[in-house]
Amino acid sequence: MKRNLCELEEIATRLRLRVLEMVAATGQGYVQQGLGAADIFTALYFAEARHRPEDPSWPDRDRVFLTTAHNTAIFYAALAECGYFDIKKLETYVQDGSTLEINSSERMGPFVEATCGSLGQGLSVAVGTSAAVRRQGRLTRCYVIMGDGEMQEGQVWEALMSAAAWGLDNLCVILDFNEMQCEGHMDRVMTLRPVCEKLEGFGFATHDIDGNDLGVLLNTFDAARETRGRPTFIKARTLVGKGVKALEGLMAHQLMFPPELAEKAMAEIRGTVA
């Protein structure tokens, strides 16, 4: 699945455009979060993770757990782009009766590795999976895309402790460090700083990177794969709204996305594609 950086940049841009289109259709959905995390999803789904969209239950597949299950516009856009389902289906996003719910549910299919809308639980499932596949001698790696605000949940630290204690080097936690939660900037709610130092102390190999730099993301995944005896934690600093000037850094968790803003945003992204 390795592609060159130019191709990956194009994919990331395409995914950003899809996020805007999906959220613009109803004004519902998480738009700035999707734009911010687009590079993480691109790097994982189109370069790093071993998976087979034509055989989604492939037992040896790498697992990608999205614990911030509300960040679905970008998640579904990436899945559709991979070929897990028809791109047309994205038009049903957040529509009554659609499996493309605003919080992802495994009723969509096995590519939703766990139902994680209740924050703080997904990492435990990933740790359990990592331990089980290791015992079974599989080469499977587990990737977890987590939210920074989510780390305020106590269960996360229970899971981190067990992952490090068990030396799960097949586990790679990617913290989508966008510094935004429901009530605004994370530091104003309950700061997580210094997160890498905390995780070092827990026994993780840590990386503090620009989560909007595809080249850096890929290099960091390489380092994680080569790390032995301990799990990896990547603090991926992302910019909410990345790619759309009017949305960059806009700290509004649930943005009612006005149609005129959506139009301008889509024009801006399309401009970068051309």
Partner 1 sequence: MTDHDLEEFEAADFINRTHKPVPRSYGDALVAAAHEDPRIVCLTADLATPTETDIFRDTFPERYHNVGIAEANMIGLAGGMARTGEIPFVHTFCAFATRRCFDQITMQAAYPNLPVKIIGFLPGVATLLGVSHQAIEDVAMMRTVPNMLVLDPSGPEYHASAVDMARAHDGPVYLRLKRPETPPEHGIIPKSLTAGKGIVAHDGQDITIVAAGLSVGHALVAVGELAREGIAAGVIDMPFIKPIDADLICNAAGRTGALVTAENHSVIGGLGSAVAEILADAGIGLPFRRVGLADRYAEGGSTAYLFRKYHLDSTAIAAACRDVVARKKG
Cβ nearer to partner 1, comparing 125 with 261: 125
The residue range among 150-158, 178-186, 222-230, 233-241 that interacts with partner 1, by the rule CB under 8 A, is 150-158
According to the binding rule CB under 8 A, does residue 190 interact with partner 1? no
Cβ nearer to partner 1, comparing 170 with 178: 170
Cβ nearer to partner 1, comparing 3 with 58: 58
User: Are 158 and 191 a contacting pair, CB within 8 Å?
Assistant: no
Cβ nearer to partner 1, comparing 118 with 219: 118
Q: Which helix (H) or strand (E) holds 5?
A: helix 5-26
Cβ nearer to partner 1, comparing 156 with 186: 156
| Minimum distance of partner 1 from residue 123's CB (angstroms) | 7
Distance CA 231, CA 152 (A): 20
The count of other CB atoms within 10 Å of the CB of residue 254 is: 11
Q: Which helix (H) or strand (E) holds 188?
A: helix 186-189
Question: Which residue of 92, 99, 152, 155 would you call a contact of partner 1, by CB under 8 A?
Answer: 155
| Minimum distance of partner 1 from residue 59's CB (angstroms) | 8
Cβ nearer to partner 1, comparing 59 with 229: 59
| Site residue total, partner 1 (CB under 8 A) | 31
Considering only residues 85 through 144, tell me which ones interact with partner 1, judged by CB under 8 A.
Answer: 106, 113-118, 120-133, 135-136
According to the binding rule CB under 8 A, does residue 154 interact with partner 1? yes
Considering only residues 212 through 241, tell me which ones interact with partner 1, judged by CB under 8 A.
Answer: none
Token pair 């957040």: residue: 94
Sort strands 205-210 and 232-237 into parallel, antiparallel or unpaired.
Answer: parallel
According to the binding rule CB under 8 A, does residue 250 interact with partner 1? no
Is the omega angle on the peptide bond into residue 259 within 30 degrees of 0, that is, cis? no
Give the 3-state secondary structure of residue 171: strand
According to the binding rule CB under 8 A, does residue 161 interact with partner 1? yes
Cβ nearer to partner 1, comparing 114 with 261: 114
Distance CA 255, CA 32 (A): 8
Identity of the residue numbered 112: V
Distance CA 206, CA 258 (A): 39
| Burial group, residue 196, by CB count within 10 angstroms (0-12, 13-18, 19+) | middle
Give the 3-state secondary structure of residue 56: coil
251 closest CA partner among 191, 185, 196, 186 = 185
According to the binding rule CB under 8 A, does residue 150 interact with partner 1? no
Question: Which residue of 13, 92, 152, 162 would you call a contact of partner 1, by CB under 8 A?
Answer: 162
Binding site for partner 1 (CB under 8 A): 59, 106, 113-118, 120-133, 135-136, 154-155, 158-159, 161-162, 165
